[in-house]
Amino acid sequence: MGRHARLSTAVVLTSESFGRIGISPIGARVRALASAVAVLALMGAWAPKAFSQAKYPNRPIRLLVPFAPGGGVDVVARIVGHKVSEKIGQTILVESKPGGGGAAAVGELMRAEPDGYTLLMTTSAHATLPKVNRLPWHPSNDFAPIASIYSYMFVIATNAASRPRFGTFGAFLNYVRANPGRINWGSSGIGGPQHLGGSHFVKVAGIDMVHVPYRGNGPMIQALLADDVQIVFDTPTLVLPQIQDGRLVALAVTGQSRLASLPDVPTVRETGLVDYAYQGQIFVLGPKGMPESAQTLLNAEFAAALDQKDVRDRLIGFGLDVPDSRHNSIAALKKHIDDFQATYDKLIAELGIKAE
């Protein structure tokens, strides 16, 4: 009771009381103010730590895609993003940011707060953007690699209107060599995966075709169906439905082995006509400096989503090679990005590919 009495007395000290104990009223007010400032400073130091320890994620996550809506990456981003959303309890909002072969979406990511609420799903061509666009960043060191989503090969496809001229890979090569500069081939944009893969093929095959870049896979496929271009190099995701309904014709695939969903279509290499293969990845990145705990959590959640049978079966049905969670590590993704950069930066220099 005595302790409480002393506390109460301290609360009601008057100016006269301060004088009796040798403290001026002004001095007392200064000391009280100093104490208040110290308390506020302590609270300020504690608040960011408490905020940073808040459960992640506690609001929607943006997932940027560097291609137009309706493209192969956009389709897969929505499928996988929805499955991850169900697990983490927050919506993943897929946003299309086409332009610059992926550079526009990367710029958006790099301007975002490194808090784990802005991500990018992109292709292996991300590794070559600094070379193509003369950009001052490193494709793996200046980002937070999160998870691989799938590996892909290209289907070399033409449209039904071109079938009378070339319905097989061999007939296509013969026609192009006999008619240099007469065939247009489309890509999803300068420096994008189709551009790199197609340019590499043209170089190795020693043929002359006219490159026509579009802003994404969707517009590129529409141009092929309209016969504005006659050849594309695209992932199976978009071309398989049109091949199955007869509007497009698969001439060859660029993988090391045949595509299970197109068992009668040869690989380029097995035809013996061109020594060529191309295989890339689709993966998720975060901004550099994002919390390591968020990076690790997202790696686990994306990898787990891909292990789910409904997601896995759907992506495999698109002709995609889906990694299992045991091999879907942050370190493995970083190595892929670095290896792809080393390989294709050399090709870009040889072909003089640069952003328009």
Tens-place pLDDT, residues 258-280: 998 899 999 999 999 999 999 89
pLDDT grade, residue 53 (50/70/90)?
low
pTM value is 0.73
Domains 61-152+281-351 and 155-279 equal at CATH topology level: yes
**Spatial CA neighbour of 65 closest among 273, 237, 313, 276:** 237
Give the number of other Cβ atoms within 10 Å of residue 105's Cβ. Answer: 24
Most trustworthy range by pLDDT among 9-18, 34-43, 279-288: 279-288
Q: Rounded CA gap, 48 and 13, in Å?
A: 37
* pLDDT, position 10: 38
Are 87 and 305 contacting, i.e. CB atoms less than 8 angstroms apart?
Answer: yes
* pLDDT, position 15: 44
Are 292 and 299 contacting, i.e. CB atoms less than 8 angstroms apart?
Answer: no
Q: Which fold has domain 155-279?
A: D-Maltodextrin-Binding Protein; domain 2 (3.40.190)
* pLDDT, position 251: 98
How many Cα atoms within 13 Å fall on the side-chain side of residue 203?
14
Mean pLDDT of the chain: 86
* pLDDT, position 26: 46
pLDDT grade, residue 217 (50/70/90)?
confident
**Whether pLDDT at 54 is above 50:** yes
pLDDT tens digits, 149-171: 999 899 999 999 999 999 999 99
Strands (E), 275-318: 279-287
Instruction: Among 35-49, 200-214, 339-353, name the one with the lowest average pLDDT.
Output: 35-49
**Spatial CA neighbour of 228 closest among 178, 164, 181, 159:** 159
- What angle separates helix 72-88 from helix 217-225, to the nearest 10 degrees? 140
**Whether pLDDT at 253 is above 90:** yes
**Architecture label for domain 61-152+281-351:** 3-Layer(aba) Sandwich (3.40)
Q: Rounded CA gap, 255 and 276, in Å?
A: 9
Q: Rounded CA gap, 216 and 102, in Å?
A: 10
190 φ/ψ angles, rounded to the nearest 5 degrees: -60, 130
How is the chain split into domains, by residue range?
A: 61-152+281-351, 155-279
**Whether pLDDT at 49 is above 70:** no
Q: Any idea what the Cα angle at residue 199 is, between residues 196 and 201, rounded to 5°?
A: 110
How many Cα atoms within 13 Å fall on the side-chain side of residue 144?
25
Strands (E), the chain: 61-65, 92-96, 118-123, 143-153, 155-159, 184-187, 210-213, 231-234, 248-253, 279-287
pLDDT grade, residue 70 (50/70/90)?
confident
* pLDDT, position 250: 97
Q: Rounded CA gap, 348 and 55, in Å?
A: 44
* pLDDT, position 41: 45
DSSP string, 107-153: HHHHHS-SSSSEEEEEEGGGGGHHHHHT-SS-TTTTEEEEEEEEEEE
Are 344 and 338 contacting, i.e. CB atoms less than 8 angstroms apart?
Answer: no
- What angle separates helix 72-88 from helix 236-244, to the nearest 10 degrees? 120
Average pLDDT on 276-287 reads 95
Query: Helix, strand, or coil here: 59?
Result: coil
